[in-house]
Structure 1
Amino acid sequence: MIKILLYEDNAPLREGLSMLFNGTEGFSVVGAFQNCTQVLQQVTQLSPDVILMDIDMPGVGGIAGLKLIRSQFDKMKVVMLTVFDDNQNVLEAMQAGADGYLLKKTPPAKLLEAIVDVYEGGAPMTSSVARQVLQLFAHQTPKATAPQYQLSDREKEVLHWLVNGYSYKMVAAQLFISLETVRSHVKKIYEKLQVNSKSEAVAKAFKDNIL
């Protein structure tokens, strides 16, 4: 059972998402709120597996809420669900440590798949958002000397598949290694890149031309 915590200020949409997840086997909504004013207390009390969060909410919005979560729960899975796919919001969400970025027009079946994906270690991203990410880093001026992170060949392989949106299970199958071995490599990648989430690792891979 994947426990989901929702943050969405649009009441009909919040109720609709709750009905979708609660009505689907393998999913359960443990809480649904209109903003992130009490986010740390709620995450602590409800212990969700995945947080689905809107960006534009009154009071404490999604980006601020995400930063609060990362300050205390660096491994918590957080997916942004929003109408915005502009550069600024995508970049801010990635820099703040979002594990995925989906648009509200995402079909219900795809949304369910994305929640399972992030739960298993993936980084779901709407195709239009993925293009934004590629464009963001493609237009950045390369540094004269790229940082040396001393990643092993195997760690680079793992990072390559993460950049391509693969979940930990998919990476394990692709490289014919165990899931625990993938997790061990990811931990080392995070340490060497000095990041705390998959989105940060992917962003740094693009920015510093690691692969």
Structure 2
Amino acid sequence: MGIYGNGTDAMEGILNYKPDLVIMDIGLPDISGVECIRTLKPLVEDVKFMVCTVFEDDDNIFEALKAGASSYMVKRSKSYQITDALLEMHNGDMPISSCIATKLLNYLPQEDEEKPEEKDYTITKQEANILGLLAKGYTNQDIADTIVIKITTLKWHIYNIFFKMKVKNRIEAINKYFG
């Protein structure tokens, strides 16, 4: 629907056309893509934003996701990976580049040993299904093939499971969920 050379023009175009999906870079000449998303998201809640950028640093990743990005892809991704990610976004998933998924998993907070274990997390049906397959010893690829999602989407689901349950790995997640 449109290609814009700066954030100001992009915001105007997105507000006028209200597309389903937007591919947004972070490094725009006037204002950052993250600021565009932060400003636009409350005004066009149904629009899904994919950040597609060269930036792989933690600050940009987390700021973009907090601002309302539905996806974070790096420009060095293969064209089919970006196309697949757009289709996944359209279907309601939150695809991210595998290098970003690794960063997110490594960023999980360390659980305080002295705190009592909390069980106030909510696991979706999809996440429960994934935990069940993890418990059966399925690999990431086996799980992705079984539930018919892309591997990057699966990694995002696993990240969400770990984050919600405040665990660091699959074994902890399985033990906590089924224990």
Q: Which amino acid aligns with 1:148?
A: D
Q: TM-score, normalised by structure 1?
A: 0.57
What is the CA RMSD across the aligned residues, in angstroms? 3.1
Deviation at 1:206, TM superposition (A): 4.0
Contact 2:72–2:95 (Cα < 8 Å) also in 1 = yes
CA deviations over 1:144-177 (Å, ceiling 9, x no partner): 364725x4xxx532345799xxxxxx8xx84xxx
Q: How does 1:96-111 map to 2 (within 5 A)?
A: 96-111=67-82
Q: How does 1:87-102 map to 2 (within 5 A)?
A: 87-102=58-73
SS at match of 2:8: coil
Q: Does 1:47 align with 2:18?
A: yes
CA deviations over 1:165-210 (Å, ceiling 9, x no partner): xxxxx8xx84xxxxxxxxxxxxxxxxxxxxxxxx8x9876544426
Contact 1:99–1:123 (Cα < 8 Å) also in 2 = yes
Among candidates 157, 163, 183, match of residue 125 of structure 2: 157
Residues 68, 160 of structure 1: alpha-carbon distance in 2 compared, 3 angstrom cutoff: farther
Deviation at 1:142, TM superposition (A): 2.7
Deviation at 1:63, TM superposition (A): 0.7
Deviation at 1:83, TM superposition (A): 0.5
Q: Distance in 2 between matches of 1:68 and 1:162?
A: 34
Contact 2:4–2:10 (Cα < 8 Å) also in 1 = no
Q: How does 1:74-89 map to 2 (within 5 A)?
A: 74-89=45-60
Q: Distance in 2 between matches of 1:97 and 1:202?
A: 20
SS at match of 2:95: coil
Deviation at 1:126, TM superposition (A): 0.9
Residues 162, 126 of structure 1: alpha-carbon distance in 2 compared, 3 angstrom cutoff: farther
Q: Does 1:58 align with 2:29?
A: yes
Deviation at 1:59, TM superposition (A): 1.1
In structure 1, runs of 5+ residues without a counterpart are 1-29, 164-169, 175-198
Q: TM-score, normalised by structure 2?
A: 0.66
Deviation at 1:85, TM superposition (A): 1.2
